[in-house]
Amino acid sequence: MNAIIDKINKEQLKEQVPEFAIGDTVKVHVTIREGDKERVQMFTGTVIARSGHDINEMFTVRRMAYGLGVERVFPVHSPRIVDVEVIRRGDVSRAKLYYLRDRQGKDARVREKLRGAK
Amino acid sequence: MKGLIGKKIGMTHIYDEQGLMIPVTVVQVGPCRVTAVRTKDRDGYSALQLGFGTRKPKNVSKAVRTHVAAAGYSEHVPERIRELRLAEDPEQSVGDVLGADIFEADEFVDVTGVTKGRGFQGVVRRYKFGGGRASHGGGWTRRGGSIGMCVNPGKIYKGRKMPGQMGNVQRTSQNLRIVQVRQENNLLLIKGAVPGANGRFVMVRKAKKK
């Protein structure tokens, strides 16, 4: 990539990227604006994908809301993402958990990682 | 009216103070050196002739070399020389150096460049024609269909959309917002896309319609 573009991208990166992995149940702290007020909203769900790198890195969080699957894609380095809190470590053997979309109820769960959990 | 010659570096995105992701094109404008000044009295119109980039002196004709030497080019010669038309006679004089600092953030600009060449293309790609049906006995999948009427008018109207060269023509994108100005290396971060491939030359002017 071009050195100038690279430099601009580097400036945007967060120094501390919150640590989480695919399959983890996370609480994403997102700042939202309502009029001129800013507040932090939570989005809790399972991380089903993480793609891209550096400034283009995104992660997808899936949750069930009122019986409907809701997925949100967040940029890892966005200043609006204040924190990503890991509630539960997931034990999965896929990098992308798109198969969860086709499952419902008890089948749509991710096993908890008990060993080696940080 | 103000403007500069620049080079399209590429695209990326940045976050603004509200945390919103904004797609930007990075354009390196300047340093541009004034190589000639046109005035209404002498030339009948007002303009600045600007030079941008570097080229080896041996690769240009002596006429160009001597012309730009008067503006202070000694080690190298500019790669591009362009005139910027102005409404009034310019305040700058030959030899002045202009940089990205003539622009400010949140200003609107028009960017002129040569679009990417796509070669000889058919009407489906070139003009978004629908073409014929692929199945059910289609028979003319990517063709343009009828190009005119019958004996009356007995000719094809001028400007009929047909296959041909697509791209590689000069185009201007108007009213693009400058998101950021980086004076230290003469960079403009312009919201949205700009005509042309990365590394091509563009002309950045103050927006005509804003």
Residues of B in contact with A77 (CB under 8 A): 15
Q: Which of A15, A80, A43, A29 is nearest to B15 (CA)?
A: A80
- The alpha carbon of residue A27 is apart from the nearest alpha carbon of chain B, in Å, by 19
Instruction: Give pLDDT tens digits along chain B (210 positions).
Output: 889 999 999 999 999 988 899 999 999 997 899 999 999 999 999 999 999 999 999 999 999 999 999 888 888 999 999 999 999 888 888 989 999 999 999 999 999 999 999 999 999 999 999 999 999 988 899 999 999 999 999 999 999 999 999 999 999 999 999 999 999 889 999 999 999 999 999 999 999 998
Does residue A118 register a pLDDT over 60? no
Does residue A53 register a pLDDT over 90? no
Band the pLDDT of A1: cuts 50, 70, 90. low
Instruction: Return the residue in B21, B25, B180, B200 with the most chain A beta carbons within 10 A, the one to mutate for interface testing.
Output: B21
- How many other C-beta atoms lie within 10 A of the C-beta of residue B162? 12
Does residue A104 register a pLDDT over 90? no
Domain coordinates of chain B in residue numbers?
A: 3-118+170-206, 119-144+152-166
A residues 59-78 lying closer than 8 A (beta carbon) to B: 75, 77-78
**Which token pair is B67?**
């012309």
Among the partner-chain residues B9, B19, B20, the one whose CB lies closest to the CB of A2 is B9
With beta carbons less than 8 A apart as the criterion, state whether B182 and B189 touch: yes
Tell me the HSE value of B200 on the side-chain side, using a 13 A CA sphere: 19
Residues of B in contact with A12 (CB under 8 A): 14-15
With a CB cutoff of 8 Å and minimum separation 6, the contacts of B210 are B108, B175
- The reply to whether A27 touches chain B by the CB within 8 Å rule is no
Among the partner-chain residues A8, A55, A79, the one whose CB lies closest to the CB of B19 is A79
> What topology is assigned to B3-118+170-206 in CATH?
Elongation Factor Tu (Ef-tu); domain 3 (2.40.30)
Residues of A in contact with B20 (CB under 8 A): 80
What pLDDT, on the 0 to 100 scale, is given for residue A3?
87
Does residue A108 register a pLDDT over 90? no
Residues of B in contact with A78 (CB under 8 A): 15, 19, 21
Give the chain B residue whose CA is nearest to the CA of A78.
Answer: B19
- The alpha carbon of residue A87 is apart from the nearest alpha carbon of chain B, in Å, by 25
Give the chain A residue whose CA is nearest to the CA of B199.
Answer: A2
Does residue A105 register a pLDDT over 90? no
Cβ separation B15–A12 shorter than 8 A: yes
What pLDDT, on the 0 to 100 scale, is given for residue A113?
84
- Per-residue pLDDT averaged across A81-108, rounded? 92
Tell which wins on pLDDT, B74 or A52. Answer: A52
Domains and CATH numbers, chain A: 3-104 (2.30.30.790)
